[in-house]
């Protein structure tokens, strides 16, 4: 069994939380410090000194994670990933390594501890985002205004001595995170692009991590390693061969930005979850709480819409596998045993067809969340019918208006064999005789 099969693949839906001192100013996470990045057009450009000064005196509310995780559980999410330390180096737990984080600006506060406790209370799996680069640490070395513009691929090379010090710091922090909070389910690295796999000593890091937490999952941003791929802001048209998770913002920012109102609609986000599950992947959907830890109202509204939709349709997402090929139904499909879920992301103007399925084994069709069985018709090639071939055919279903969901309607097709079975069975000897 693959490591990801235990909980990650069945989970399908998780919460990403980007939170740090940047939130109190309404700035994007870390990137303003280096002058911004084209992929985050709503981000700012803030001089280094001003950027770091914003962290002074920030008192993150340790009650905030409880509200995020309660909202995640209500939305049908099964795990959560928190930015324990982003590229700007600010640690959300009282680290004994380095001098930048809650230990200094808010003594006695442990956001990571509160997050872990909330996840355990609500039964969500626990993930730690951790940036390999630290743009504040002198041995990294810290990013200064003189290094602008930030160029991908062109980084200051630290002396061997500095790099050894940075490695010790990095390992010290990761060890704390993976020792002080009990079993942790996932570590989500980021930023490896700034140094080669060799400099990060990815093999050594992985060994250390698996020793501390034998069951942990590691994302693929530890180059050459990792249990799952992480397409960002993008649903792959063809699913990657390995397990995968798309991380996605609701607007155009990871961090809190009241001015960013470029939101995807609630229905579009539900559709993305259906598309991702239909390709056998996970969706890690982001919130960027404000400086006080509150979920911004447009994001809370989208979480609530997921709650509404998932309470009725969760069984078509959680614990399912990828469904049929794209020509077989005009929308994503998911599979659980012999049950096929067909996700209708558009309002059909005529009866819909499911093609290439073993129609003679179809026992019942219904709309998820409604008791009634629907009438359906089946068609198979004429010759197959005459010869009693138990081959694939098509199902035609008229979806009653009254049973349609405003975001996405799910048809449930119950078979008595694998609906994705590809080899048409030979004519049975019984019927031949
Ligand atoms: C990017 C960004 C970072 C963000 C991450 C989430 O790599 O550098 O700001 O946290 O994506 O996937």
Dump pLDDT digits (tens) for 317-354.
Answer: 999 999 999 999 999 999 999 999 999 999 999 999 99
Question: What is the rounded CA–CA span in Å between residue 84 and residue 93?
Answer: 7
Using an 8 Å Cβ cutoff, are 58 and 21 in contact? yes
The pLDDT assigned to 157 comes to: 87
Concatenate the DSSP letters of all residues of 255-320 into one string. S--TT---PPPHHHHHHHHHHHHHTT-EEEEEE---TTSPPPHHHHHHHHHHHHHHHHHGGGTTT-
Distance in angstroms (rounded) separating the CA atoms of residues 411 and 297: 32
Task: Identify whether residues 201 and 326 lie together within a single domain.
Answer: no
For residue 7, what is the DSSP state?
T
Determine the pLDDT at residue 154. Answer: 83
How do residues 108-141 score in pLDDT, each as one tens digit?
Answer: 999 999 999 999 999 999 999 999 999 999 999 9
Say what the pLDDT of residue 425 is: 57
Q: Is residue 420 part of a domain?
A: no
Closest ligand 1 atom to residue 286 Cα is 6
Q: Which atom of ligand 1 lies nearest, measured to the CA of 31?
A: 9
CB 407 within 8 A of CB 305: yes
Residue 22: predicted pLDDT: 97
Contact 122, 139 (CB under 8 A): no
Tokens linked to 243: 């397990």
Alpha helices in 330-374 (DSSP H): none
Q: Looking at the structure, tell me whether residues 78 and 172 fall in a common domain.
A: yes
Write down the pTM of the prediction: 0.96
Residue 236 lies in a domain: yes
Q: Whose CA is nearest to atom 5 of ligand 1?
A: 190
Q: Which of 294, 316, 338 is the last residue of a domain?
A: 316
Q: Helices 266-278 & 297-313, crossing angle to 10 degrees?
A: 50
Of ligand 1's listed atoms, the one at least distance from the Cα of 83 is 10
Q: Is the CB of 29 under 6 A from ligand 1?
A: yes
Query: Is residue 432 domain-resident?
Result: no
Boundary residue ending a domain (295, 316, 337):
316
Same domain, 13 and 139: yes
Q: What ligand 1 atom has the least distance to the C-alpha of 129?
A: 10
Both 271 and 200 in a single domain?
yes
Residue 426 falls inside a structural domain: no
98 and 121 together in one domain: yes
Q: pLDDT band at residue 153, thresholds of 50, 70 and 90?
A: confident
Residues 233 and 274 in one domain: yes
Residue 161: partners with Cβ closer than 8 Å, 6 or more residues away: none
Does the beta carbon of 190 lie inside 6 Å of ligand 1? yes
pLDDT range class, residue 433, cuts 50, 70, 90:
very low
Which of the listed residues 15, 223, 254, 282 should we mutate to test ligand 1's pocket, taking the one with most ligand atoms within 8 A of CB?
A: 254
Q: Give yes or no for a contact between 395 and 362, defined as CB atoms under 8 angstroms apart.
A: yes
| CATH for 185 | 3.20.20.80
The number of the ligand 1 atom at minimal distance from the alpha carbon of 232 is: 12
Structure tokens at 1: 């069994």
**pLDDT value at position 424?**
60
Tell me the CA–centroid distance for residue 114 and ligand 1, in Å. Answer: 23
Query: How far is CA 200 from its chain centroid?
Result: 25
107 pLDDT tier (thresholds 50, 70, 90): very high
Q: Does residue 428 surpass a pLDDT of 60? A: no
Q: What is the DSSP string of 16-57?
A: EE--STHHHHTPPSSGGGGT--TT-TT-----HHHHHHTTTT
Q: Write the pLDDT tens digit of every residue in 267-310.
A: 999 999 999 999 999 999 999 999 999 999 999 999 999 999 99
Please, what sign has the CA dihedral across residues 129, 221, 123, 171?
negative
Residues 310 and 163 in one domain: yes
Q: What is the pLDDT of residues 363-410, one digit of tens each?
A: 999 999 999 999 999 999 999 999 999 999 999 999 999 999 999 999
Residue 145 lies in a domain: yes
Q: How far is the CA of 274 from the centre of ligand 1 (A)?
A: 23
The answer, yes or no, to whether any atom of ligand 1 lies below 6 A from the CB of 232, is: yes
Count of domains observed in the chain: 2
105: left (phi > 0), else alpha (psi -120 to 50), else beta? alpha
Same domain assignment for residues 295 and 252: yes
Q: Say what angle helices 111-122 and 64-74 make with each other, to 10 degrees.
A: 30
Determine the atom of ligand 1 nearest the C-alpha atom of 29.
9
CA of 190 to the centre of ligand 1 (A): 7
Tokens linked to 329: 């139904």
Burial 369-394 (b: 16+ CB within 10 A, else e): beeeebebeeebeeebeeeebbbbbb
State whether 345 and 234 are in the same domain: no
Does residue 393 form part of some domain? yes
Between the CA of 226 and the centroid of ligand 1 the distance, in Å, is 17
Look over the chain and give the mean of its residue pLDDT values, rounded to a whole number.
95
* Residue 89, domain extent: 3-316
Q: According to the model, what pLDDT value does residue 419 have?
A: 95
For ligand 1, say whether the CB of 254 is within 6 Å of any of its atoms: yes
Containing H/E element for 378? Answer: strand 376-379
Residue 182 and residue 215 in one domain = yes
Q: Is pLDDT above 70 for 186? A: yes
225 lies in a domain? Answer: yes
What whole-number distance in Å separates Cα of residue 244 and Cα of residue 342? Answer: 21
The rounded Å distance from CA 120 to ligand 1 centre is 26
CA–centroid distance, 39 to ligand 1, in Å, is 10
Which pLDDT score, from 0 to 100, does residue 224 have?
A: 87
Domain containing 361 — which CATH number? 2.60.40
Nearest atom in ligand 1 to the alpha carbon of residue 247 is: 12
pLDDT value of residue 412: 98
> In 10 A of CB 2, how many CB atoms?
11
Query: For 59-106, what is each residue's pLDDT tens digit?
Result: 999 999 999 999 999 999 999 999 999 999 999 999 999 989 999 999
Best of 23, 40, 43, 232 to mutate for ligand 1, by most ligand atoms within 8 A of CB? 232
pLDDT at residue 200, as a whole number = 96
Does 309 share its domain with 352? no
Q: Are residues 284 and 378 in the same domain?
A: no
- Using the predicted structure, report yes or no on whether residue 430 has a pLDDT greater than 80: no
Give the pLDDT score at 306: 98
**Closest residue CA from atom 9 of ligand 1:** 29
Question: What is the number of other CB atoms lying within 10 angstroms of the CB of residue 341?
Answer: 23
Based on DSSP, count helices (H) and strands (E) in the chain, helices before strands: 13, 15
**For a pLDDT cut of 70, what percent of the chain falls above it?**
97
Domain end, chosen from 266, 286, 316, is at 316
Q: Residues 220-277: pLDDT tens digits? A: 999 988 999 999 999 999 999 999 999 999 999 999 999 999 999 999 999 999 999 9
pLDDT higher than threshold 50 for residue 19: yes
Residue 428 domain flag: no
- Look at residues 59, 67, 72, 56 and name the one whose alpha carbon lies nearest to residue 110: 59
């Amino acid at each position: 069994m693959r490591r990801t099969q235990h909980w990650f693949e069945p989970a399908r839906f998780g919460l990403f939380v980007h939170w740090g001192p940047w939130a109190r100013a309404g700035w994007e996470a870390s990137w303003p410090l280096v002058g911004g990045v084209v992929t985050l057009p709503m981000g700012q450009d803030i001089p280094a000194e001003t950027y770091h000064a914003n962290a002074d005196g920030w008192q993150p509310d340790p009650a905030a994670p409880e509200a995020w995780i309660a909202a995640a559980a209500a939305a049908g999410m099964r795990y959560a990933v928190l930015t324990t330390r982003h590229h700007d180096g600010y640690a959300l737990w009282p680290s004994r390594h380095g001098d930048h984080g809650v230990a200094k600006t808010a003594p006695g506060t442990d956001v990571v501890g509160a997050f872990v406790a909330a996840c355990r209370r609500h039964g969500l799996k626990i993930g730690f985002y951790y940036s390999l680069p630290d743009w504040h640490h002198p041995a990294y070395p810290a990013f200064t205004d003189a290094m602008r513009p930030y160029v991908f691929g062109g980084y200051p090379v630290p002396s061997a001595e500095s790099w050894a010090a940075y490695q010790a710091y990095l390992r010290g922090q990761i060890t704390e995170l993976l020792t002080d909070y009990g079993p942790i389910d996932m570590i989500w690295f980021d930023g490896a692009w700034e140094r080669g796999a060799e400099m990060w000593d990815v093999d050594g890091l992985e060994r250390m991590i698996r020793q501390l937490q034998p069951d942990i999952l590691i994302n693929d941003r530890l180059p050459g390693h990792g249990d799952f791929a992480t397409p960002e802001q993008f649903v792959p048209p063809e699913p990657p061969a390995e397990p995968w998770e798309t991380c996605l913002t609701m607007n155009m920012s990871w961090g809190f930005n009241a001015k960013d109102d470029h939101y995807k609609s609630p229905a579009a986000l539900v559709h993305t979850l259906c598309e991702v599950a239909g390709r056998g992947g996970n969706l890690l959907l982001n919130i960027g709480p404000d400086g006080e830890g509150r979920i911004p109202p447009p994001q809370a509204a989208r979480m609530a819409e997921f709650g509404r939709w998932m309470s009725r349709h969760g069984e078509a997402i959680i614990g399912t596998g990828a469904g049929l090929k794209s020509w077989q139904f005009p929308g994503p499909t998911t599979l659980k045993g012999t049950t096929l879920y067909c996700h209708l992301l558009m309002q059909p103007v005529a009866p819909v067809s499911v093609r290439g399925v073993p129609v003679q084994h179809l026992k019942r069709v219904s709309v998820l969340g409604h008791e009634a069985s629907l009438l359906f018709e089946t068609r198979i090639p004429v010759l197959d019918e005459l010869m009693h071939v138990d081959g694939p055919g098509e199902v035609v279903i008229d979806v009653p208006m009254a049973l349609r969901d405003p975001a996405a309607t799910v048809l449930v097709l119950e078979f008595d064999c694998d609906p994705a079975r590809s080899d048409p069975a030979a004519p049975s000897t019984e019927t031949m005789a």
